[in-house]
Structures are given as structure tokens and as C-alpha cells.
Amino acid sequence: MTFNEQELVKGCKQRNRIAQKQLYDVFGGKLFAICLRYTKNRADAEDVLQDAFIKIYENIDSYRGDSPLEYWLRSVVVNTALNHLRQQKYVKELDDIDYHLNGIADREFTLANFQLQQLLELVRELPQGCQTIFNLYAIEGYQHNEIAQKLGISEGTSKSQYARARALLQLKLNKETRFDDGSVRNKQL
Amino acid sequence: MDPSGINNFEEQWRKALSEASETPPKSIWENIEARLDENSEKGAVLPLWWQSKKLWLAAASVAALLVVGAGFWFSDSSKNGQNRIEVAGKAAQSPATEKTNMPEAGHAAAQENTEAVASNAPDNIESTDSKSVKENNQTLASATTPRRNVENSSGRSSASRVNSQNSIGAAGKSDIASVENSVLERNQDFAQSNNLASTSISSNEIQNDILAKTESSEKAIAVDMLATPAYNELDIHVQKRYVFFKPDAIAKEDIKPKKHTEYWAGIGLMPASFNPDVQLKNAPQDFSYQALSRTKAVTASSEAGISYALQTHGGVRISKHWSVELGLSYLQGNSSYEGGGYLINSKSQSTNVLENALADASKGSSYSGGTDKFNNGALYVDITNKVANNYQYLQMPVQAGFTLNPDKKLSYSLLGGMMANFFLSNQIEAASGDIITTRASDEIYRSMNWAATTGLRFNYRLSSRWKANLTGSYQKAISSGFRSNQTLDAHPYLYGVAWGVRYSF
């Protein structure tokens, strides 16, 4: 879709409904995928998306154009999702589990054979804490100290939760792969 | 640990998920729009001054004033510029006159020249304005008639020089006839004939340049005052990994105060279990004459029947969680009364305990339920009989509601309040099998009695305006349904599940 980002932002700042709708049309899909990653079910994801767009429209004036618009939108959505989880008190239940990255050498690791829906489902099946930290670290690219600060947990907890998420995903992927193409991959775990 | 392996894992996931897109359901935008409408209706969190027509008009008039003001300023300064050109011309002239010692001739020629121009084109002198000055600066070749005046003013010095070197006759070159020639030609002539002339012209040009610069800078200032700052095209940054970390973003977003006023109207149907809980305190008079029947008569009980209520309600949301609602419902409360036996007299007239009690309660009125026909010789038949006992009420509930998850798709409301039940009619099945109808005008039942009500409601948002709801509700009368509670007492209660929809305004 072709659109002029500046015009769009300008329109949104003037609370122009057409511009707001266009912003939603352009970015709604990607942002909804983020919501789906951070929540456990579709209804929650829809709630987060709604709240996030309201925040976006209300706070569009604080967007100064110093970073690409999409990054700003994504950060609002991630923050809204975290807020949502915080309200549901999932994050508080995070414990420091004794998981470490134990040299998982997956040189031929690839997700190319998987459908997006499958992968989303795998992420959503993770325990809530693992899911959140996996998203923040692996997909959004935060560092563990930033995640720790964001979620009010220790850096160690973030690391161990991430290691656990990784191990669980690896395990599930191995299962799914066997199931799909009948071949058994080298089990590293 | 193999760092490349780790990166590979995250890289793969990021590739697969970070750009993923999933079309959200259509209802989301509708909800967002509804919430935006709600916010903007509430008189704007942000002052949307740029949407005010008055302010636009004010801004436009200020802009117009600026334009006009700038125009005046501009033309003033161009006139000054012209003066300066003349002064410069004179300044250049004086050394020339010293050289030639023929100032008068020079002056005469120059004056003749200007006069000739004035006589030829008197309008032009007046029309010397900023435009001509600007054009001067832009290109000499495009010189127009008003330009001649400027040229002439500089021509005063050049002409004097021409005169001084050649002869007065030479001044004829720049006389009335030559004015008709193009200014460019004259300029070239002057330049060829005299270096001094060309220097003076170039000095004029410098003057013009300076003027034009000051003019253009003035113009730029005026434009700056009017125009909004321009947008800069943003560079497209391609980053592999972008960290967006705003620790205070959440805190900032949370402190927005919101208003939540919302009105709604709804309808519903409530299947219910209604129990009038009719109690006989004492056996009715006729029954009490029969010693044996006394105990039996008062151990009867009410049984709930399948009932329903048609409900309408309207409400207002007064804060994020709290709401108040009012309603009007029609309740058809069906029940049965079991026990008590009945009396039968010698004339084969019969009465059951309920109709007899009602007849007692209606003493002195024109109630059709019965008369004292069973005083003597009546027979008490001890059969546990079950008679229908149905009520119609008009209900007006006033309830307060506390809603959890108010803006989500599924929300829950806890309700509590009072309900005024207006008695419409009661029907009981008589021992004879007839239906005896009691109305409010019979003055047996209270025309209005109070009930307490409480409930739990699930709201499901169908669209921005419509919600479906399911309400579990319990109502219990807090006063007796009878006017006189000597023999009869009733505290109806009801359990129901209402299905309804509501529309928000």
C-alpha cells in the first residue's frame, strides 16, 4: 500500500478520522500479530489491540518523527500488552528457575518449513512468563537488563526464563518436525 | 556455547515473527471508533484549537495584515532605494563635473533628459515602484518603460559625462528621441562612450543588488511569519535490531483522566421461577370453625411456577465502573398453592383455604370471592389440593451497577438495588374450578410493595453500540404483599435469568 507517512501522522495529529482509519489499515495487521504473540487467546489480543490504538491516537502528538513510525507504534503495542499482562498479574509469578543455555548447537536450525500460525501457536503455548520474555528478547530485541527493568524482575530471572522458553520451543519444534516430515532431527536436548 | 548457533535461533524466529501480519476482525475498528467518538464527545482532552473556524478567521486576518503591511514596507524601502540611486548618481557626477568643468551643460542635458521623459511618460515616474526595482536587478534586457526612470536618474550622471566629453550636441543622444530607444542600447552606448558612465551604472547595479537582497530577506521574513515550518523527509533507517525502550511510556499513558458518561436503553426477557411465598398465619374464619381443619389449613405452602418478565431498562454510566439504571417490567408470576383442603356445604358450594382467606381479607368490600356460606354445616374435606395462584406485577427497579472490565469485549456487572412492584392482578383457582381474579381495586393486595434486588450480569459487546447481556437476578419482597397481615402474609421472591440486548447512545 502506498501512503505518505508524514501526511498520515499529520492527519492523525489533527484527529482526522480518515487518517486514523488509514493508519489502522496500514499497520493494524502487523500490530495485531504482536498482540497475538503476547497474549494467550484471541479475545485478549483484540482487547490489547484496541487499547493500543486508542493510546496511539491519543498520544500521537508525542511522536516527533525521530524514529520510523512503525517502531513507535510497535513500542506502544508492546507496552500496552505488558500493561495488560501486568493487570492480569502474570508477570509477578515469574520465578527464577534453574535453566541455563547449555550450548544448544543448532547449526542447521531453520523455521522455514513452518507456517506462521504454527509458530504463533508454539509461542502462545509457552508459560506466560516465558512467552513474554521470549518475545521481548528474541523478537523485539531487548537486552536482559532492560527486560528486567521493564518487568520489575531480576536479570537472572529474565535469563533463566528465556533459557526455559528456548528449551521448550526447541523441544516442541523437534516434535512438530518429526510429525510433519517424518524425519527425526538430531536431538540436542 | 556457540554464539552463531544462538543467533541463528533468534534470527530465525525474528525473521518468522517480527514482520508477521494477521488481519484483525472488523469489529475492532468499530470499537476503536466508538471509543474515539466517546472521547471526543466528552469535550476534548486536548484543545483542538485548529479545528475552530473563528481562530482560522483570526489567523487569516492576521496573515492578511502581514501581507499588506509587508507590501507597504516593501514599497517604502524601494522608494528609499530610488533616492539612493539618485544620490549615488549625483555623487558620481560631481567628480565628473570637476574634471570637465562643464557642470551646467551636464545639468542642463540631464534636466532636459528627465523633463523629456517626464513629458513623454508622466505616468511612469509615479509608477516607479518596487517591481521596477526588482526587475532592474533581475535583468537589464527586460527593461520596461518604468525602468527608464531609474535609468534616467542614473542617466543624469552618465549624460553629463557624455556632454562633458563630446559636446552639448552629443547630449542629443540622450534626448527625447533617444528615450524612445531601448534602455539597453543606451546603456551600451554609455558604456562604450565612457568608462565612468559604466562604473556609475555598475555602482547603481550594486545598489540595486543590495536593495534587492534586503527586499528578498524582508520577503523571506514575511513568508517565515506566515508559513508553517516545513516537514523534512525522514531517512529510512534499516536496522536489523531496533530496541525501543521507553521506561516511562507506560506511566505517562496511564494518567489520562477519562470521562465515561454513556447512556443506554435495553430490552430483555426473563424466564423466572416465581414464588409468592403465601403464608396462612391463622386459618380463615370458616375453616377455623372446623376444629380439625385448623392445623391442616395453615400448614400449606406455595410452590414456584414457571414465570416470565418482559423488561425494558435504561441506564447511565457515571464513571469508569459505576452505572445506575432504571427499568420498567411486566412480571407474570405463576405459582401454585398446595394443601389446606377445602370446605363443602350442604348446598354443594365449596371453598378452598386460599379463596376463603382472601374473602376474609376483603371484608366489607365488594369482593366476589365468597361470603359467609360455610358457617355451619360445612364439611371439611382433607385433601391436599393444589390450586393455581398467579400474579401480575408491574415492576420498576432502580439499581446501581459495578462493572468489571468495562471497555472490554466481555464485561461483568454486579447489580443491586430496590424494586417497586405495582400489583396488577392475582388469579386463584377456586375449589369449584373457576378462576377468581383479584385486582388492585379490591384492596386486598398492597398496590405497591418494595423488593430488594441483586444480580450478576454478563455483557458481551456485539458492536460499538450493541451489547448482548445475560443477567442472573434475585428479587425478594421486603414488605408483605397483603394490606392486612392478620391471616395472610406473602413475601414473593424470584430467581430469573434475563436475556437481553442494549443499545448505547
Extents of the domains making up chain B = 56-226, 262-504
Query: Is some CB atom of chain A closer than 8 A to the CB atom of B35?
Result: yes
Could you write out the three-class secondary structure of B416-472? EEEEEEEEEEEEEECCCCCEEEEEHHHCCECCEEEEEEEEEEEEEECCCCEEEEEEE
One domain for residues A83 and A96: no
**What pLDDT sits at residue B475?**
92
Parallel/antiparallel/unpaired status of strands B386-404 and B466-477: unpaired
The answer to whether the Cβ–Cβ distance between A58 and B45 falls below 8 Å is yes
Residue A189 lies in a domain: no
Stretch B256-273: mean pLDDT: 81
Across chain B, what does the average pLDDT equal? 70
Q: Which of residues 207-236 of B touch A (CB under 8 A)?
A: 231, 233-234, 236
One domain for residues A54 and A108: no
**Does the structure show a pLDDT above 70 at B1?**
no
pLDDT in tens, B154-203: 444 444 444 444 444 444 444 444 444 444 454 455 445 555 544 455 55
Q: Which of A57, A107, A138 sits opposite B13 (nearest CB)?
A: A138
One domain for residues A128 and A100: yes
Closest C-alpha among B435, B446, B432 to residue B485: B446
Grid cell locating B432: 369449584
Integer Cα distance of B374 and B344 in angstroms:
8
One domain for residues A41 and A71: yes
Number of domains in chain A: 2
What one-character DSSP code corresponds to residue B395? Answer: E
Could you give the percent of chain B with pLDDT greater than 70?
54
One domain for residues A127 and A167: yes
Could you give the percent of chain A with pLDDT greater than 90?
22
**What pLDDT sits at residue B167?**
43
Give the residue ranges of DSSP H helices in B255-328: 285-289, 293-298
Final residue of a domain: which of A70, A88, A106?
A: A88
Residue A187 lies in a domain: no
One domain for residues A133 and A116: yes
Among all residues of chain A, which has the CA nearest to that of B10? A138
Instruction: Tell which wins on pLDDT, A63 or B216.
Output: A63
**What pLDDT sits at residue B432?**
76
Final residue of a domain: which of A72, A88, A104?
A: A88
One domain for residues A113 and A143: yes
The answer to whether the Cβ–Cβ distance between A29 and B21 falls below 8 Å is yes
Among all residues of chain B, which has the CA nearest to that of A72? B244
Final residue of a domain: which of A56, A88, A120?
A: A88
Could you write out the three-class secondary structure of chain A? CCCCHHHHHHHHHCCCHHHHHHHHHHHHHHHHHHHHHHCCCHHHHHHHHHHHHHHHHHHHHHCCCCCCHHHHHHHHHHHHHHHHHHHCCCHHHCCCCCCCCCCCCCCCCCCCCCCHHHHHHHHHHCCHHHHHHHHHHHHCCCCHHHHHHHHCCCHHHHHHHHHHHHHHHHHHHHHHHHHHHCCCCCCCC
DSSP bridge partners of B393? B331, B423
- The band of B402, judged by pLDDT with boundaries at 50, 70 and 90, is very high
The answer to whether the Cβ–Cβ distance between A50 and B410 falls below 8 Å is no
One domain for residues A69 and A34: yes
Give B252's contacts in chain A (Cβ within 8 Å).
Answer: 59, 62
C-alpha distances out from residue B365 to B100, B323, B353, B429, B441, Å: 142, 45, 19, 20, 10
CA atoms within 13 A on the CB side of A65: 12
**What pLDDT sits at residue A32?**
93
- The band of B265, judged by pLDDT with boundaries at 50, 70 and 90, is very high
The answer to whether the Cβ–Cβ distance between A28 and B24 falls below 8 Å is yes
Question: Which range has highest mean pLDDT (A122-126, B249-253, B482-486)?
Answer: A122-126
- Cβ contact B313:B325 at 8 Å: yes
What one-character DSSP code corresponds to residue B482? Answer: B
**What pLDDT sits at residue B244?**
59
Q: Which residue has 500490530 as its cell numbers?
A: A31
pLDDT in tens, A74-105: 999 999 998 888 877 655 555 555 555 544 54
Q: Which of B10, B12, B29 sits opposite A24 (nearest CB)?
A: B29
Q: Which of A29, A62, A106 sits opposite B22 (nearest CB)?
A: A29
DSSP bridge partners of B310? B269, B330
**What pLDDT sits at residue B65?**
85
Number of Cβ pairs closer than 8 Å across A and B? 163
One domain for residues A97 and A174: yes
Q: Which of residues 91-150 of B touch A (CB under 8 A)?
A: none
- The band of B479, judged by pLDDT with boundaries at 50, 70 and 90, is confident
pLDDT in tens, A40-80: 888 889 999 999 999 999 888 888 888 888 889 999 999 99
- Cβ contact B308:B272 at 8 Å: yes
**Does the structure show a pLDDT above 50 at B151?**
no
Q: Which of B1, B27, B50 sits opposite A103 (nearest CB)?
A: B1
Q: Which residue has 424466564 as its cell numbers?
A: B271
What was the ipTM of the complex prediction?
0.82
Phi, psi torsion values for B392, nearest 5 degrees? -125, 125
One domain for residues A44 and A101: no
pLDDT in tens, B315-355: 998 888 899 999 999 999 999 888 777 777 767 777 777 77
Stretch A35-39: mean pLDDT: 91
**What pLDDT sits at residue B26?**
86
One domain for residues A36 and A68: yes
Closest C-alpha among B260, B216, B272 to residue B393: B272
Instruction: Tell which wins on pLDDT, A3 or B324.
Output: B324
- Domain at A9, CATH number: 1.10.1740.10
Stretch B10-17: mean pLDDT: 84
Integer Cα distance of A182 and B195 in angstroms:
100
| Range name among A9-18, B127-136, B433-442 with the lowest pLDDT average | B127-136
Stretch B42-50: mean pLDDT: 52
Stretch B380-405: mean pLDDT: 87
Note the CATH number of domain B262-504. Answer: 2.40.160.20
The answer to whether the Cβ–Cβ distance between A139 and B17 falls below 8 Å is yes
**What pLDDT sits at residue A29?**
92
Residue A186 lies in a domain: no
- Cβ contact B488:B297 at 8 Å: no
Integer Cα distance of B470 and B268 in angstroms:
9
- Domain at A102, CATH number: 1.10.10.10
**What pLDDT sits at residue B166?**
45
Reported as type and span, the H/E element at residue B273 is strand B262-275
Integer Cα distance of B98 and B462 in angstroms:
100
> Domain limits at A29?
5-88
Integer Cα distance of B435 and B429 in angstroms:
5
Closest C-alpha among B46, B32, B31 to residue B257: B46
**Does the structure show a pLDDT above 50 at B456?**
yes
- Cβ contact B265:B467 at 8 Å: no
**What pLDDT sits at residue A52?**
93
One domain for residues A46 and A22: yes
What one-character DSSP code corresponds to residue B233? Answer: P
Helix (H, G, I), strand (E, B) or coil at B407: coil
Give A188's contacts in chain B (Cβ within 8 Å).
Answer: none
